[in-house]
Structure 1
Amino acid sequence: MSRSESGSGRRRGVAFLVAAASVLPAPAVAETLYALELNGGDFRVVDRATGADVETISTTVFGSWRGIAMSPVSGILYATDVGSLFTLDTTSGETVEIGPFGGALVRDLTFDGAGQLYGVTGAQGSAANSLHAIDTATGAVTFLVALNGNAGHCIAYDPEEPGTVYHLAAGLAQQIFERVDLGSGAITPIGLAGDPILSPSLGLVYDPLAGLFRFFDAQGRYYALARDGTVTAAGTQNPTVYFGLAFDQPTTQFVIFEDGFESGDTSAWSATVP
């Protein structure tokens, strides 16, 4: 609906939106933070603010596990063991292999809002230190852009900045934080400030309730990271070194409003109504 349409049309759209919202229960958004141990074993729920263990799902998810990510479309949790893509059951910890990455050694995963999976490779294997699109049906990867850094690569999509992935890694002398434009491949460096990151970063995840990123380092220390590069250490150290981090994602609910817009992406509607 454009601004040129009548005010009465806008009011009808607003009234219908409110009515629909009052009938359909709003799904929980990112209230559960899943964590998978580096190289396998523990699969748990951890506290979003402190990184402390909250609930144990399984202690027998064995494998060379790295990053995890949950699809915002299907609600399926995916995991990488560096060489292949898997699904990971959030109730049992059971894994099912989908397929190999074809020589790329994928270290961390993230989904965009449309359900496209992305992965970042480490310093070894084909197409090292780079960002890839991943087919969730086969595990096949498509090279997108080379990234800076040579260790500790991790990525996270920020739904408040569509078309953008944030990348955290270790360089030769310091940690690297940068914004990657998925359309053009342009990379924008972001200076880090605040608390020091004391060892290589592991899985990065965006926390939509707090509006910032969270991650563990290789010694189990937990951090918050703002878009402007401000790092805040949680002050606690988990005895388990977690790599994979993923918040739960509600699946998109399909509702047609009177004005023709569908739920799941109302950005165009909300952007045009004052």
Structure 2
Amino acid sequence: MGSHDELETCLRALGEHLGSPTPLPADVARAVRARLEGAPEAGEVGRPVRPEGAPAPSEAPGGTGGAGEPGERRWRRARRRWIAAGVAVLLAVLVGLTPQGQAAVERVLRFAGIELHIGNPPPLPSGVPGALPGETRVTLAEARDMAPFPFQVPAELGPPVDVRVSEEGRLVSMLWPGGIRLDAFNGVVDVLWRKDLGPPFPKQVTVGESSGWWINAPHGVTYIPRDGVGGKDLARVAGPTLVWQLGPAGYRLEGVADESRAKRIGESLR
């Protein structure tokens, strides 16, 4: 089988596995073919470029390049590498092109003390999560004294009706009526939260002058204790969430379904 036939077979099989659109959009198909064939322009079609250092069958030392000779074996290996590279290029295009492709590869994004596991999440947690380690109800003033980092309160919501600290001030949780919760923590020291996300994928946003992520769909969230023990008992379902960082503090706002309102709340920190 010729190299082009082998390449076409591999690419078709990969496309069927990922559920890619058939046929691929014309601009994507041209870009992939140009990349594989080494054309200087996306619309040009040239001869395949032999990998650097790989001899042609006719250039095999000690023979004419017949099957089984050293030169032919080297050429076959080079051809397989060329095909593998083509598959890798198409995979990269499909991952960025389709939700199926994005879900096929899990990515881990660490941001502001949170690990976002993006790809194919497990089923949403069920049951009632356990209390956070050392969780204690305190006043806002007591929380400021206990937390080893400065944090702010959103003026948009007014004073919280309930304040809790966990692990001796490692996490400060502020709560308001309607299920609104704002967690504040040191976003540069270690990871406190894990979020398992599938489509719709998180959206990068700005909160004032800070960068952040908007997570629109319900998802699993797990608190990660300082010692890393017992995290599975702390998993629960979270609704739409905005996460961002301001100075050393990371913030996680949950319970506000509207992205614009969530950003206004975040921008009102005082």
The TM-score by the shorter chain falls in which range?
A: under 0.3
**What TM-score comes out, normalization by structure 1 length?**
0.22
Find the structure with the greater CA-based Rg. 2
Q: Which has the higher contact order (CA 8 A, sep 6+)?
A: 1
More strand by share: 1
Name the TM-score, length of structure 2 as normaliser: 0.22
